[in-house]
């Protein structure tokens, strides 16, 4: 049972029980028309044999058959995600160059780097354990600027391999903005570290907006990484334009972008010249791994906990435990009531949302 739950958790899918022959063919092995147990994934039906396969796509959870690619650190990527995944340095450099060009187009020539050479590389997950940084955080990107005695800058960016192109572009925008801040912030202008991260996230947000990616925009807003600063900055940018934010980085004196007085009162958190783009560890968010449908009964697996409609259970997240009531299970989603949160939360299969 435990293993069953684990598999269901890893593989975001819907199980439909059916005795009769269907029109479905397995998207993993091609077998069909399928009968009996069928798992519905976002790519289509999966037969029961393939469902039991050991390896899963690191991006979508699909069982891995014979068509796949593997990252250097052993993560599998399915044939469906492969065309949109960035696996080599050349691809990553292209994503970075595109993001950079688009941001300068959006923000103006003032957002160009004075020292334009940026070394872009990819890293694998084990990069961090090799460096002895097993802090449980999963990092997507990292940037650093070194300043020579004469004041010249050399920039470096590394980003996680095997991610989808769109997500990598958001990381590229974030890291590029760190480089721009490194060049443009006056040495005596101490900036709150959450504010720096929020400015970098604002770039990612604006790039996703320009590319019409509302889901990515929402993810950036909901991410607790900047402790809510991103929402303030998005509002501020809407009101005053990006120029005011960039100008403040260059010429401001306060630690945060709030009013002068509150900024004076705010303690300044230390920020070094090295930054990393750290998403929260996954259990901070609620995720609908899958729906289990059998006859009339339906269960939703939310962050490893199984719910029937009407049930209330405790779900352990990264820093807290939340009481959750399953209000309704729909064909491909679940409606949840989270204790202390006024609005019900709807999750689609495979979707992940932060608890406000
Ligand atoms: Zn199959
Ligand atoms: Zn996949």
Q: Residue 77 C-alpha to ligand 1 middle, in angstroms? A: 17
What is the pLDDT, as a whole number, of residue 20? 54
DSSP 107-161: H-GGGS-SS--EEEEEE-THHHHHTT--SS----EEEEEEE-TTS-EEEEEEEES
Hey, what domains does the chain have and what are their CATH numbers?
2-80 (2.10.110), 86-277 (no CATH), 286-354 (no CATH)
Q: Name the residue with tokens 């120029």.
A: 243
Q: Residue 130 C-alpha to ligand 2 middle, in angstroms? A: 27
Q: Residue 55 C-alpha to ligand 1 middle, in angstroms? A: 13
Ligand with the closest atom to the CA of 49: 1
Q: Residue 287 C-alpha to ligand 1 middle, in angstroms? A: 26
Q: Residue 289 C-alpha to ligand 1 middle, in angstroms? A: 20
Number of helices (H), then strands (E), in the chain: 10, 19
Q: Residue 244 C-alpha to ligand 1 middle, in angstroms? A: 55
Nearest to 179 by CA among 117, 107, 105: 117
CA–CA distances in Å: residue 346 to residues 121, 215, 300, 342: 37, 14, 12, 13
Task: Show Cβ contacts of residue 187 under 8 Å, excluding neighbours closer than 6 positions.
Answer: none
Q: Residue 289 C-alpha to ligand 2 middle, in angstroms? A: 14
Q: Residue 163 C-alpha to ligand 2 middle, in angstroms? A: 10
Ligand with the closest atom to the CA of 12: 2
Q: Residue 20 C-alpha to ligand 1 middle, in angstroms? A: 17
What pTM did the predictor assign?
0.73
Q: Which ranges constitute the DSSP H helices of 67-121?
A: 89-107
CA–CA distances in Å: residue 83 to residues 66, 120, 220, 336: 16, 21, 24, 34
What is the pLDDT, as a whole number, of residue 27? 92
Q: Residue 48 C-alpha to ligand 1 middle, in angstroms? A: 7
Q: Which neighbouring-strand residues pair with 70?
A: 76
Ligand with the closest atom to the CA of 78: 2
CA–CA distances in Å: residue 349 to residues 246, 290, 300, 330, 336: 39, 6, 9, 10, 13
Q: Residue 53 C-alpha to ligand 1 middle, in angstroms? A: 9
What is the pLDDT, as a whole number, of residue 77? 92
Q: Residue 5 C-alpha to ligand 2 middle, in angstroms? A: 20
Q: Residue 161 C-alpha to ligand 2 middle, in angstroms? A: 14
What is the pLDDT, as a whole number, of residue 74? 84
Maximum Cα–Cα distance for the chain, whole Å?
76
Strands 85-86, 163-164: parallel, antiparallel or unpaired by DSSP? antiparallel
CA–CA distances in Å: residue 136 to residues 128, 142, 197, 225, 322: 10, 16, 20, 15, 21
Report the alpha-carbon distance of residue 91 to residue 7 in Å, rounded. Answer: 32
pLDDT means over runs of 10, the chain (356 residues):
42 48 84 80 82 86 88 87 92 96 96 95 67 51 88 90 93 95 88 89 96 91 84 91 90 73 43 44 68 67 86 84 91 88 87 79
Task: Show Cβ contacts of residue 90 under 8 Å, excluding neighbours closer than 6 positions.
Answer: none
Ligand with the closest atom to the CA of 85: 2
Q: Residue 311 C-alpha to ligand 1 middle, in angstroms? A: 34
Ligand with the closest atom to the CA of 47: 1
Here the tokens at position 74 are 């052993």
Nearest to 81 by CA among 89, 90, 73, 71: 71
Q: Which neighbouring-strand residues pair with 336?
A: 326, 345
3-state helix, strand, coil in the chain (%, to 5): 35, 30, 35
């Amino acid at each position: 049972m435990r293993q069953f739950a684990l598999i269901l958790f890893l593989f975001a899918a819907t199980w439909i029980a059916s005795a009769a022959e269907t029109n479905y063919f397995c998207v993993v092995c091609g077998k069909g028309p399928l009968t009996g147990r069928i798992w519905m994934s976002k790519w289509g039906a999966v037969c029961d044999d393939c469902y039991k396969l050991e390896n899963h796509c690191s991006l979508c959870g699909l069982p891995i058959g014979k068509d796949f690619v593997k990252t250097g650190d052993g993560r599998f990527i399915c044939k469906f995600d492969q065309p949109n995944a960035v696996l080599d340095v050349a691809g990553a450099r292209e994503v970075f160059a595109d993001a950079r060009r688009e941001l300068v187009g959006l923000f103006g020539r003032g957002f160009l780097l004075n020292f334009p050479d940026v070394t872009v590389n990819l890293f694998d997950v084990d990069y961090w354990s090799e460096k002895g940084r097993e802090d449980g955080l999963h990092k997507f990107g990292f940037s650093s600027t070194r300043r020579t005695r004469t004041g010249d800058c050399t920039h470096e960016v590394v980003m996680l391999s095997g991610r989808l192109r769109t997500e990598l572009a958001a990381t590229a925008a974030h890291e590029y903005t760190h480089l721009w801040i490194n060049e443009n912030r006056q040495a005596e202008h101490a900036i709150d570290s959450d504010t720096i991260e929020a400015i970098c996230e604002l770039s990612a947000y604006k790039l996703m907006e320009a590319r019409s990616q509302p889901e990515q925009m929402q993810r950036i807003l909901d991410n607790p990484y900047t402790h809510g600063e991103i929402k303030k900055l998005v509002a501020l940018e809407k009101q005053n334009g990006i120029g005011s934010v960039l100008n403040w980085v260059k010429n401001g004196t306060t630690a945060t972008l709030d009013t002068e007085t509150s900024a004076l009162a705010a303690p300044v958190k230390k920020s070094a010249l090295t930054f990393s783009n750290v998403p929260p560890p996954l259990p901070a968010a609620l995720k609908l791994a899958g729906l289990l449908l059998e006859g009339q009964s339906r269960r939703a697996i939310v962050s490893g906990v199984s719910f029937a409609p009407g049930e209330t259970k405790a779900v352990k997240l990264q820093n807290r435990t939340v009481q959750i009531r399953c209000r309704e299970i729909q064909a491909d989603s679940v409606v949840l009531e989270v204790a202390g949160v006024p609005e019900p939360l709807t999750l689609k299969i495979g979707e992940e949302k932060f608890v406000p």
